[in-house]
């Protein structure tokens, strides 16, 4: 009897150990022993650019680096899938104005327009609006600072200028990164071969000095350890993408639609679609592409195994992807349900697909 008890305890400990390591993964970097000397902020401005962004993201991923991408709103509007690629590669996305003007030459309302259009372009691509703003040319003034604070944006300049925009060689860019100290931010661009080729050596240099690439804190504008917000997908991701129209429909009014995409509309409280997913690990990111049928905010709850895990929001009728990061749930076969619970009669929720990573 004693022996049987011991076996049970050992089994429970093993199970606990494996659950523990899975749930710790997204936040483990906060106390990373590989970063004894702290964190620096790598930043890349003026993207996304179709000729460069994919190569840059691949180079960063391969080097184990994460960075903040200060995107131009007009580029984000033209290449939304590249903005989504930045997020899924583990990068953070900031606002760098819509058209790259000299902001200090603009009126307050022109500044607002540059900033708001970019927030909208990035939000409609990724489901999240940036919290960081970098003024083009680093030019700022009191009017701009007040417009930024009205939009809950933190201004981020830099401590080190790589001079990649000014013809610096790869060796000079690497040397500039070599001057970064804990908390510092370096200016680079999503545009140049020289910058791209510097990435592996920047990674080596930081590692040799006990520094890691971190996120930029919206409260201080300085580099800090990454937190779970915006973290890359936890490993063990299913990579599954499930079209709404292939899910099981229930509720009074649930029906297929063919515009603005092939999908399903949920018209009233209780309307839902569901499917069964087999999970091999207990934490995933869930991205739902959808829209409202009008300018009102539509809401769709995510339920897994009968428990509500979060809510997807769609702020208007143009389709957007909204992501719930690091959702914990049961392992094995689980019922995954998308259900409307907050409909007050002013919107319908239109669903395209759900991605699990």
Structure tokens at 107: 């009126």
Q: What value, to the nearest 5°, has the Cα angle with vertex 61 and ends 59 and 81?
A: 90
Residues 296-325 that bind Zn ion (CB under 5 A): none
Site for Zn ion in 42-61 (CB under 5 A): 45-46
Residue 168 belongs to what H/E stretch?
none
Residue by residue, what is the 3-state secondary structure of 99-125? CCCCHHHCCHHHHHHHHHHHHHHHHHH
Binding status of residue 337 toward Zn ion by CB under 5 A? no
As given in the structure block, the two tokens for residue 124 are 């409609």
Rounded to a whole number of angstroms, the minimum distance from the CB of residue 46 to Zn ion is 4
Minimum CB–partner distance for residue 227 and Zn ion (Å): 26
Q: Give whichever of 45 and 352 is closer to Zn ion, judged by the CB atom.
A: 45
Instruction: Select 139 or 229, whichever has its Cβ closest to Zn ion.
Output: 139
Between 117 and 136, how does the x/- string for binding to Zn ion read (CB under 5 A)? -------------------x
Residue nearest to Zn ion (CB): 45
Closest separation in Å from C-beta 49 to Zn ion? 12
Smaller CB separation from Zn ion, 46 or 271? 46
352 near Zn ion, judged by CB under 5 A: no
How many residues make up the chain in this entry? 357
Residue 45 or 245 with smaller CB distance to Zn ion: 45
DSSP 308-350: EEEEEEE-SSS-EEEEEEEEE--SEEEEEEEE-----SS--EE
Contact 225, 81 (CB under 8 A): no
Residues with Cβ within 8 Å of 181's Cβ and at least 6 positions away in sequence, in order, are 38, 40, 159
Cis peptide leading into 48, omega within 30 of 0? yes
Q: How far is the CB of 96 from Zn ion (least distance, A)?
A: 6
**Binding string to Zn ion for residues 165 to 204, with x set by CB under 5 A, is what?**
----------------------------------------
Q: How many CA atoms lie within 13 Å of 147's alpha carbon, on the beta-carbon side? A: 22
Question: Nearer to Zn ion by C-beta: 158 or 313?
Answer: 158
When the beta carbons of 41 and 290 are compared against Zn ion, the nearer one is 41
Q: What does the binding site for Zn ion look like in residue numbers (CB under 5 A)?
A: 45-46, 136
């Amino acid at each position: 009897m004693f022996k049987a008890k011991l076996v049970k305890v050992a089994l429970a400990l093993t199970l606990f150990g494996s659950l523990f390591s899975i749930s710790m993964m997204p936040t483990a970097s906060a106390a990373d022993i590989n970063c004894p000397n702290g964190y620096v902020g790598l930043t890349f401005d003026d993207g996304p650019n179709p000729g460069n962004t994919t190569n840059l993201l691949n180079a960063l991923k391969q080097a184990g680096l994460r960075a903040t991408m200060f995107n131009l709103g007009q580029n984000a509007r033209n290449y939304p899938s590249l903005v989504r690629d930045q997020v899924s590669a583990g990068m953070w996305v900031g606002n760098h104005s819509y058209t790259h003007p000299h902001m200090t030459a603009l009126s307050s309302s022109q500044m607002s327009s540059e900033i708001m259009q970019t927030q909208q372009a990035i939000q409609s691509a990724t489901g999240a609006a940036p919290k960081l703003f970098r003024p083009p040319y680093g030019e700022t003034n009191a009017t701009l600072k007040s417009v930024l604070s009205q939009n809950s944006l933190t201004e981020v300049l830099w401590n080190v200028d790589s001079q990649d925009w000014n013809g610096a060689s790869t060796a000079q860019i690497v040397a500039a990164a070599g001057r970064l100290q804990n908390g510092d931010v370096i200016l680079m661009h999503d545009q140049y071969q020289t910058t791209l080729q510097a990435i592996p050596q920047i990674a080596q240099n930081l590692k040799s000095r006990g520094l890691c690439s971190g996120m930029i804190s919206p409260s201080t504008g300085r580099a800090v350890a990454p937190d779970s917000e915006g973290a890359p997908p936890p490993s063990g991701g299913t990579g599954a993408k499930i079209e709404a129209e292939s899910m099981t429909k229930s509720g009074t009014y649930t029906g297929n639609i063919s515009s603005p995409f092939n999908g399903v509309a949920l018209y009233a409280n209780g309307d839902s679609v569901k499917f069964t997913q087999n999970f091999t690990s207990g934490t995933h990111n869930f991205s739902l592409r959808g829209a409202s049928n009008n300018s009102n905010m539509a809401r769709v709850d995510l339920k897994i195994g009968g428990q509500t895990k979060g809510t997807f929001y769609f702020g208007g009728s143009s389709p957007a992807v909204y992501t719930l990061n690091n959702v914990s749930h049961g392992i094995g076969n689980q019922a995954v349900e998308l259900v409307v619970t907050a409909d007050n009669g002013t919107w319908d929720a239109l669903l395209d697909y759900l991605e699990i990573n």
